[in-house]
Amino acid sequence: MNTVQNFELYAPKLIEKREFFSSGHRACQGCGEVLGLRMIMKALGEDVVVSNATGCMEIISTAYPHTAWETPYIHVAFENAAAAVGSGVEAGLKALRRKGKIADRDVKSVAIAGDGGTVDIGLQSLSGAMERGHDMVFFCLDNEAYMNTGIQRSSATPFMAATTTSPAGKAIKGQRTGKKNVAEIMVAHNLAYVATACPSYPLDLMEKVKKAKAVKGPAYVHVYTVCPTGWRAASEQTIKLGRLVVETGIFPLYEVENGKYRLTMETPEPRRPVEDYLKLQGRFRHLDPSDVAKVQALVDKEYRKLMHKVKTSVPWS
């Protein structure tokens, strides 16, 4: 039985029925980011304070005077969701507990940002908050470009993908660098919990959210979120693309608990070729067979590195 069937069979018993991110927002049709956010909020529950960096989810959810958020929510700048605001909220919650005002509630500080507010503009802030050990969870909703400002490249944009600032032409075939692996950067910060997730695998995503929330200290979850608009893909392909990115090994689903790596969703062997994933997206339509082979080689290399860590890593204690 696959994950979707499991979800449909057991969801009424396992998943919070209340919605903490409501309908009626302005997300694009087929938006994987808002789907992931809805699942995240369901798994977090009501006892959270959300600091949300500027990005797609802020734009679509908080058009004055309306809001889709059913929890305390703060919209902040691209660069300060983690260190200035998220960690500040955490300090405020500590003060309220000392005063006995929320002694009976375990309220968590949660920071959420897109790839721009995580891997680029917000990386220094994120690193600072994680290094200092603030009791908070950070979620990166990664749609691989600055989508709400015009589909500009970020350092999360994959190799040879076309964006408005990394256009594909005869001299340069799109993005010239590979995707920055922020999950591994967070592992290097010695966090107790780091994970990758995708809303195409809903139970896996929500279980990781619950684990991250339960950690006393900083935790990080990197969520792969399909963007049909920016990727030039059909909106009905959102879930399929999220599954293909895992089945090809481009974005494996794993978690790192106290230094120990574990795959949470087995990638089929042999893995599906990356072409199955690339051909569904207009941002890769300029690639010829030799280009696809380069992407495949890069994916194979990174996948081998991860598998080595899965096999050889040991927990800290």
Q: Which residues of 15-33 are buried (b: 16+ CB within 10 A; e: fewer)?
A: eeeeebbeeebebbebbbb
Query: What are 61-81's pLDDT values in tens digits?
Result: 999 999 999 999 999 999 999
CA separation (Å) from 5 to 129, 200, 299?
38, 12, 29
pLDDT recorded at residue 169: 93
Q: Are 118 and 129 in contact (CB under 8 A)?
A: no
Check whether 3 has a pLDDT greater than 90: no
Check whether 118 has a pLDDT greater than 60: yes
Mean pLDDT over 51-58 rounds to 96
Mean pLDDT over 184-203 rounds to 97
Name the phi and psi angles at 186, rounded to 5: -70, -35
Check whether 2 has a pLDDT greater than 90: no
Mean pLDDT over 98-127 rounds to 94
Question: Would the CA dihedral through 127, 129, 134, 137 be positive or negative?
Answer: negative
Closest CA to 196 of 49, 80, 207, 238: 207
Q: Are 142 and 224 in contact (CB under 8 A)?
A: yes
HSE value, Cβ hemisphere, 13 Å, CA-based, for 203: 15
User: Over the chain, what is the mean pLDDT?
Assistant: 94
Query: What are 29-42's pLDDT values in tens digits?
Result: 999 999 999 999 99
pLDDT recorded at residue 11: 55
Query: What are 211-258's pLDDT values in tens digits?
Result: 999 999 999 999 999 999 999 999 999 999 999 999 999 999 999 999
3-class SS at 3?
A: helix
3-class SS at 266?
A: coil
Long-range contacts made by residues 294-298, C-beta under 8 angstroms, separation at least 24? 294/159, 294/160, 295/158, 295/159, 295/160, 298/159, 298/178
CATH class of the domain at 3-312: alpha beta
pLDDT recorded at residue 13: 58
Sequence ranges of the domains in the chain: 3-312
Name the phi and psi angles at 17, rounded to 5: -80, -30
Query: What are 293-304's pLDDT values in tens digits?
Result: 999 999 999 999
Mean pLDDT over 14-22 rounds to 86
What is the share, in percent, of the chain residues with pLDDT greater than 70? Answer: 96
Peptide bond into 268 cis (omega under 30): no
Query: What are 129-142's pLDDT values in tens digits?
Result: 999 999 999 999 99
Tell me the whole-structure pTM to 2 decimals.
0.94
Between residues 250 and 8, the one the model is more confident about: 250
Between residues 180 and 12, the one the model is more confident about: 180
Check whether 197 has a pLDDT greater than 70: yes
pLDDT recorded at residue 1: 41
Mean pLDDT over 267-280 rounds to 95
Cα pseudo-dihedral 99, 100, 106, 109, rounded to 10: -20
Check whether 112 has a pLDDT greater than 60: yes
Residue 305's CB is within 10 A of a number of other CB atoms, namely 11
What is the share, in percent, of the chain residues with pLDDT greater than 90? Answer: 89
